[in-house]
Chains A and B, each alone.
Chain A
Amino acid sequence: MTQSVVVQVGQCGNQVGCRFWDLALREHAAVNKKGIYDEALSSFFRNVDTRRAGDGPDIYKGKICSLKARALLIDMEEGVVNEILQGPLRDVFDSKQLITDVSGSGNNWAVGYKVYGCQYQENIVEKLRKTAEHCDCLQCFFIIHSMGGGTGSGLGTFVLNLLEDEFPEVYRFVTSVYPSGEDDVITSPYNSVLAMKELNEHADCVLPIENESLFDIVNKIHQMTKSGKLGSTVRQNSLLTSSAGTTKTVQEKPFDAMNNIVANLLLNLTSSARFDGSLNMDLNEISMNLVPFPRLHYLVSSLTPLYTLADVNVPSRRLDQMFSDAFSRDHQLIQADPKHSLYLACALLVRGNVQVSDLRRNIERLKPSLHFVSWNQEGWKTSLCSVPPVGHSHSLLALANNTCVKPTFMELKDRFMKLYKKKAHLHHYLQVDGMEQSCFSEAISSLSDLIEEYNELDATKGGLRTDASRLKIAV
């Protein structure tokens, strides 16, 4: 079995990461009743003998002793990380996995990337190597960060570069929280566009997330649980409870419910690699199947049924509804409408009591309402993991490589241009060592090129499909 390492950068990255570790622990606790350290656990956790002094040795077999997250926590402020260290998850991390500073990046990508990047490079590399040494087959790094601020965006993409240099063989999946239109960070368009260039060039896959979408989904779940007609009951042991389990004593933070959704995304994304199933999907299959051209690696995700994201038990509706919902606009984790855009590829990752016939039936049913690019008419990747999410019978994660991400990027470009034309706030960036005006022009042209690539694909939509004429054989 392989291992993955999570690198959580900045306030957003660490808060989401924190939810991820909490839910991951609960998921494994629910599956692993015997308390034996197994392969599934080993993908995200080390088992450490803490009775020994210092950095205890890893225990590969036998009882769970002390689980340590395969993670690196990076923030240029102390607040969030300190809170984690005082919270219920404190035992999962130790001081050797942390990199913090006191002054923050002032919502400035250049400070995060250039200043802190330079300053902490060695420290980061050393800690990454240490984490990697504890893995016998490191397969993937998951970076969790936001695009709008300074640390997550700047230092996060700096780490992405480091990873490529230091571990070229290891996959780099990035979960990026994009700023919404009314973001309170004025410079967020700059930071996001500068970060996008790095994501374009150095990530294997990017899972874009928009807070607006998370917010809407949380509200929707809220309404579902309130409206009595669904006959919902509180689920004690589902993964999203804030009232049960390890976080009992902690006041729920406003972002927690939203962050739980992202945490679930990562859990479902990796479930088939961690647990058994009749059709496994290893992480290396994701980019192989979903990335037809190197830069087009942005995957729009949706999680259904929504109630698996809440601590409620809504009477199970038709299984097929779960599949339909995965394609509807209001279940996407960014503001996008895949149904009315062009699919390059689509993956359906199913967990629980769902069989291949359910997959086939739904693919055949949904296919006519979706547009696929001419050369990938059967662009489906499917997986079946036998272990459902905690407290539920089944779930679906859909990953779409779809031109519907384009509007998000175009909007970002517009907001960038509005500032950039006036040269607003530019001086804050240009005064940072190593930051030139050309960084801005290169970043925006990288984004424009990406948008253009999607445009070209969109232009083929609805056109006549002609088959490439086949090779002729001399008979």
Chain B
Amino acid sequence: MSIVAVQLGQCGNQIGREVFNTIYGDAHGTHGLCSRKENEAYHDACAERFFSEAQSGVPVARAVLVDMEPKVISQTLSIAARSGHWKYDDRSHFCQKQGSGNNWANGYCIHGPRNKEAIMNLVQKEAEKCDRLSGFFTIMSMAGGTGSGLGAFVTQCLRDAFPTSFILNHVIWPYSTGEVIVQNYNSVLTLSHLYRSSDALLVHENDVIHKICAQLMHIKQISFRDVNQVIAHQLGSVFQPAHTVEADIHYSRNPLGGLMETLVPHPEFKMLGLRNIPQMPENSLAYSTFSWPGLIKHLRQMLIANAKMEEGIDWQVRPPCPGSTVPSSHSTNKLLHFNTSIANLVILRGKDTHSVDLGSFRDPSLYTSWLNPQDAFNAWKTPRAFNKYEKSASLVSNSQFLLKPLDSVVGKAWNMFASKAYVHQYTKFGIEEEDFLDSFTALEQVISSYTNL
């Protein structure tokens, strides 16, 4: 089945291009380390998922590019075309003359309705190119105006036009030290609206990826390109083909459906975080060996201790003892840092994945009590190595991963809202104080739900 990517705003377009690049590079790489048959199946499944065939023979990304200013799109198209390996459809993009000016209301209330038809036509065309459509994968930041505001609007339109397709929104969380001054307002508005129409929000925090670039990839001067490559690697590690059922010889048919089925058992909980190990500079790969038990041990501790990467994990954090709802006093502190899950998905790629023991992820004490632990965990596997990594493990988690960042964004936005600063910029475009309040209420609800797991 195929996925149509919708790249929105500068961030969405820059990341989207990197994602297709990674996916293409991986599928055509020579480091697959698996049987020829497996490799072919992998390659075919990948092609069906992300690319359509052009007459020229150059694969065409299943993507719609949207921005309100022309510069990023024209750059994105030309860089992709220059790669010579794959390209975007010449007609599958839409831009206007000026951006949304970091104003969510401008994107949502003005650009959205004004350009709805044109954008949805492109989406429709792209969807019709798919024999079987799994759903949509939108890529956007929540700090700007276009990705966030127009992105929220387009997501709503997708929901209306494709009621049975899955919609996964990939959302870039801005640097917490500030890069767009109204980023917390825009984020609150975006998240609350996406929560209504999206099936799930897959989040990457710029702060976290930045740290990975510095500490794991050892990059001195980190550019957005570097950041985006790490994001693309992580996304690729999830969305490239994998076997969803043990011993199945076919690659999963509905990647988005499979993901939602495992990870989103309840519409109140839609915030997904992503972890991936190992990650290191390409030139160190050849000198490193990893064992599955070691990787799994790390990944599990990253989950329960809410570590963002394999370095600096707090190994003291333990799951609460089974049966004891009231923690004993000396362990309270550690328990406070324990990250409770709703559901988790682990994806293993590479050598010997069949023999890996994932029992530690099935431990019921990791999960909230109202869900059957058997339903709360799933694993996908493939012997095909990913992106030059002999072994690679990813975790997609619906857990308290994003509780703190969410609480912080809402808190900052609320402080600003109390002073009424910048509100006039939104009312100018038709977002009233009431709308803000609705969004705050919706997100406080989400925060409270995740807190009380």
Contacts and interface: CB of A to CB of B under 8 A. Distances in A.
Interface of A: 1-2, 39, 136-137, 139, 276, 278-280, 282, 284-285, 287-294, 344-345, 355-360, 363-364, 367, 374-382, 384, 467-468, 470-473, 475
A471 B224 contact: no
A373 B329 CA distance: 40
> Quick one: which of B411, B415, B448, B452 has the most chain A CB within 10 A?
B415
Closest 6 CB pairs of A and B: A378-B178, A284-B101, A357-B222, A468-B418, A137-B97, A380-B178
A462 to B, nearest CB: 17
Contacts of B219: 357
Given A380-B179, A470-B411, A471-B441, A284 B421 contact: no
A471 B440 contact: yes
B223 A473 contact: no
A355 B416 contact: no
Interface stretch (B64-72, B153-161, B310-318): B64-72
A381 B179 contact: yes
Interface in B214-244: 214, 219-225, 227
B69 A282 contact: yes
B328 interface: no
B290 interface: no
A364 B211 CA distance: 14
B71 A139 contact: no
A467 B181 contact: no
A66 B56 CA distance: 40
Contacts, number: 140
A80 B265 CA distance: 73
Contacts of A276: 71, 75
A360 B177 contact: yes
Nearest to A348: B179
A355 B223 contact: yes
Interface residues of B, number: 54
A287 B182 CA distance: 11
Nearest to B443: A471
Interface string B189-222: 0000000000000000000001001100001111
B10 interface: yes
A471 to B, nearest CB: 5
A471 B72 contact: no
Given A136-B97, A357-B219, A380-B179, 18 more contacts: A39-B71, A278-B224, A280-B69, A282-B98, A282-B99, A282-B101, A288-B102, A288-B422, A291-B422, A292-B422, A357-B222, A375-B415, A375-B421, A376-B421, A380-B177, A382-B179, A467-B415, A468-B417
A356 B222 contact: yes
Which among A2, A289, A364 has the highest number of chain B CB atoms within 10 Å?
A: A289
Contacts of B98: 2, 137, 139, 282, 284
A357 B444 contact: no
Contacts of B411: 467, 470
Nearest to B181: A289
Contact of B177 (A279, A291, A345, A364): A364
Interface of B: 10, 14, 69-72, 75, 97-103, 145, 175-182, 210, 213-214, 219-225, 227, 410-412, 414-419, 421-422, 424-425, 437, 440-441, 444-445, 448, 452
B71 A280 contact: yes
B419 A375 contact: yes
Given A288-B102, A294-B424, A355-B221, A381 B181 contact: yes
Contacts of A285: 99, 101-102, 180
A284 B71 contact: no
A289 B180 contact: yes
Contacts of B418: 375, 468
A470 B222 contact: no
A280 B177 CA distance: 18
Nearest to A359: B179
A36 to B, nearest CB: 14
Contact of B10 (A279, A284, A467): A279
A298 to B, nearest CB: 16
A416 B97 CA distance: 44
Given A276-B75, A375-B415, A468-B418, A288 B101 contact: yes
B411 to A, nearest CB: 6
B444 A471 contact: yes
Contacts of A364: 177
Nearest to B72: A280
A376 B413 CA distance: 9
Contacts of B225: 278
A472 B437 CA distance: 12
A136 B97 CA distance: 9
B424 A473 contact: no
B120 to A, nearest CB: 23
Contacts of B410: 470
Contacts of A367: 177
B387 to A, nearest CB: 23
B109 to A, nearest CB: 14
A404 B441 CA distance: 37
Contacts of B75: 276
